[in-house]
């Protein structure tokens, strides 16, 4: 019997996936317990033809140990927990869900941008302490006097640009893989990375986590940012060197940061990031809405079903 196994998930149930997979005559099971390590996947998923995966690592070692697995599908956009090179070498189809949370993540980024520009977390925290007044938070610029710099210019970043334009922000972006026309069409200034970093008042990260973006935002980059810049990260935690970020916040180089993702998740209890009044922390929640989660589950299961029925999933990466 051809079988799909869900390695791990954070949903209340698998009723959506079960309806799609079993409704087409295949079987769906879940790993028990949920897979957190390579060994967990190898031990629990030997009977799978297809894996539906949220956070479990699917590495070369895993794929070599599970020769029956011919397709892996990620619940999400990023695939940094998949070894795509190994999948390609071993003839395993790998797919993701690239467009399920464009509005949610762009809304989340904009909420952080506006909150930090308006000094909302700083004012909130001082009022909680019994203090009052905005003098200490000045200058408070208008959005029309600020440049929002977008690192990468994919679907989410483009939606951020659309929403930020309504508030009057100046817009710039860096993406070495896109032609100039993509920026012109969106009304966004195309800049090289160094110029974007040096001239942006807010820098919002939307790049995937790959070798080239590991700690892309490091101490050298922080040193070249404008004094009083704001950093937003709704992409992946390891894109930012957290130790360097903490130093930049402590030294006053940054006016604030909005962080939905971290180098280690959950954020360790002793992290200094928990102690700043000008930092917004959310728990990798930018993609979350009931609508988005339903779309995610439906499209992930649909990609698995495409493979089972002999079609290449439209979102296949290899």
- Residues with catalytic roles: 236, 265, 284
Residue with tokens 């099971």: 29
The pair of structure tokens assigned to 20 is 């799609």
Contact 294, 16 (CB under 8 A): yes
Distance between CA atoms of 20 and 29, rounded to whole angstroms? 13
The pair of structure tokens assigned to 252 is 């006053």
Residues whose CB is less than 8 angstroms from the CB of residue 61 and which lie 6 or more positions away in sequence, other chains included: 38, 42
Residues whose CB is less than 8 angstroms from the CB of residue 185 and which lie 6 or more positions away in sequence, other chains included: none
């Amino acid at each position: 019997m051809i079988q799909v196994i869900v390695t791990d998930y954070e949903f209340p149930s698998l009723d959506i996936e079960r309806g799609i997979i079993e409704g087409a005559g295949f079987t769906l099971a879940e790993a028990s317990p949920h897979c957190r390590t390579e060994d967990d996947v190898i031990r629990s998923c030997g009977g799978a033809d297809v894996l539906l995966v949220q956070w479990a690592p699917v590495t070369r070692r895993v794929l070599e140990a599970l020769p029956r697995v011919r397709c892996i599908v990620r619940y999400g956009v990023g695939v940094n927990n998949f070894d795509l090179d190994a999948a390609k070498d071993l003839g395993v189809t790998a797919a993701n869900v690239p467009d399920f949370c464009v509005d949610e993540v762009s809304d989340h980024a904009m909420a952080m941008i506006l909150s930090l520009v308006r000094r909302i977390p700083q004012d909130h925290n001082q009022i909680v302490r019994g203090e009052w007044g905005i003098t200490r938070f000045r200058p408070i610029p208008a959005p029309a006097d600020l440049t929002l710099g977008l690192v990468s210019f994919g679907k989410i970043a483009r939606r951020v640009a659309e929403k930020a334009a309504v508030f009057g922000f100046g817009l710039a972006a860096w993406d070495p893989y896109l032609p100039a026309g993509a920026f012109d069409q969106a009304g966004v200034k195309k800049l090289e990375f160094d110029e974007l970093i040096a001239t942006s008042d807010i820098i919002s990260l939307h790049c995937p986590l790959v070798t080239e973006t590991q700690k892309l935002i490091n101490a050298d980059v922080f040193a070249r940012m404008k004094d009083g810049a704001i950093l937003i990260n709704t992409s992946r935690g390891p894109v930012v060197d957290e130790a360097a970020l903490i130093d930049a916040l402590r030294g006053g180089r940054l006016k604030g940061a909005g962080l939905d993702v971290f180098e280690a998740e959950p954020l360790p209890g002793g992290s200094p990031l928990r102690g700043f009044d000008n930092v917004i922390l959310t728990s990798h929640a930018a993609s979350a809405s009931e609508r988005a989660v339903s779309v995610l589950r439906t499209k992930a299961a649909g990609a698995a079903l495409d493979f089972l029925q002999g079609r290449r999933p439209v979102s296949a990466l290899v």
